[in-house]
């Protein structure tokens, strides 16, 4: 029973890496003591600083999941190209692959190695099944939605601004650091059920003009769980073709 719960939790975590929406990208701007940019300008530059839409390769990712019924550690390898196709792999402590996910065009395939089962379906249906927004990779790495709106023009004493974004199902509130032009925290509330996901970002690094957090924590209220993610390195842009390889397992349509 525990292995099945663990697999479900790992699938939910891995789907956090699945989708990416576009935004214009600009060169990273670092803050200075003389910085007098307005909140509106900081938000504009932060949106231009997004990079997920160019394609991303995450190497050396590690995730530690804790919940009331399961605790486990996973190594994560994820690749998404510039057209939005992706492949994600989660491996256990012994380097054995537990889950692999392919997303090509509008279809998603989840390979559950433990139970020798493939879950397949339209990407929209898969995300709905797990009550997840469609741009979770951008959320995971702290990208800002293109249509985000300032909560206030004020830049606080910590050099941060607050912004929000609403769609049909989710309300998002973001705290953005002006020194790195990325989110320090993103809180997502599901409008109907009151479910909440909180993403916190720390240890920002800049590699080849891309700024990203090495440490990410995720807290969920329903189901209750906590996830700590460490990212060793990110490569962007990525334009490689995603080649789907499905084993001879039982297939369940979602």
Q: What are 187-196's pLDDT values in tens digits?
A: 988 765 667 8
Q: How far apart are CA 191 and CA 168, in angstroms?
A: 8
* CA-to-CA separations, 27 to 122, 195, 241, in angstroms, rounded: 35, 35, 27
- More confident: 196 or 175: 175
Number of H helices, E strands in the chain: 4, 15
Q: What CATH number is attached to the domain comprising 57?
A: 2.50.20.10
Q: What is the pLDDT of residues 22-46, one digit of tens each?
A: 334 444 445 444 567 889 999 999 9
The two three-digit tokens of residue 224, written as one number: 């209750």
Contact 230, 62 (CB under 8 A): yes
Q: What is the pLDDT of residues 93-138, one digit of tens each?
A: 788 998 998 988 889 898 999 899 999 999 878 777 766 666 776 7
The two three-digit tokens of residue 208, written as one number: 């080849």
Q: How many domains does the chain have?
A: 1
Nearest to 9, CA basis, from 97, 57, 61, 73? 73
Q: Pairing between strand 196-207 and 182-190?
A: antiparallel
Parent domain of 74: 2-253
């Amino acid at each position: 029973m525990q292995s099945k719960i663990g697999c479900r939790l790992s699938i939910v975590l891995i789907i956090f890496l699945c989708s990416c929406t576009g935004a214009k990208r600009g060169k990273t701007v670092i803050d200075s003591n003389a910085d007098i940019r307005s909140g509106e300008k900081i938000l504009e530059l932060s949106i231009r600083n997004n990079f997920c839409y160019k394609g991303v390769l995450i190497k050396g990712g590690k995730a530690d999941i804790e919940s009331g019924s399961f605790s486990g550690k996973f190594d994560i390898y994820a690749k998404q190209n510039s057209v939005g196709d992706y492949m994600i792999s989660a491996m256990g402590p012994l380097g054995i692959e537990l889950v692999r996910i392919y997303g090509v065009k509008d279809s998603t395939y989840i390979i559950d190695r433990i139970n020798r089962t493939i879950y397949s379906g339209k990407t929209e249906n898969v995300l709905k099944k797990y009550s997840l927004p469609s741009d979770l990779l951008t959320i995971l790495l702290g990208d800002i939605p293109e249509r985000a709106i300032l909560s206030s023009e004020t830049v606080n004493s910590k050099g941060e601004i607050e912004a929000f974004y609403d769609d049909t199902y989710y309300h998002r509130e973001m705290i953005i650091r002006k020194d790195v032009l990325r989110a320090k925290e993103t809180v997502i509330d599901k409008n109907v059920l009151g479910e909440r996901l909180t993403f916190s970002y720390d240890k920002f690094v800049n590699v080849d003009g891309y700024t990203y957090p090495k440490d990410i924590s995720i807290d969920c209220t329903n189901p209750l769980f906590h996830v700590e993610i460490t990212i060793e390195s990110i490569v962007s842009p990525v334009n490689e073709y995603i080649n789907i390889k499905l084993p001879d397992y039982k297939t369940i349509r979602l």
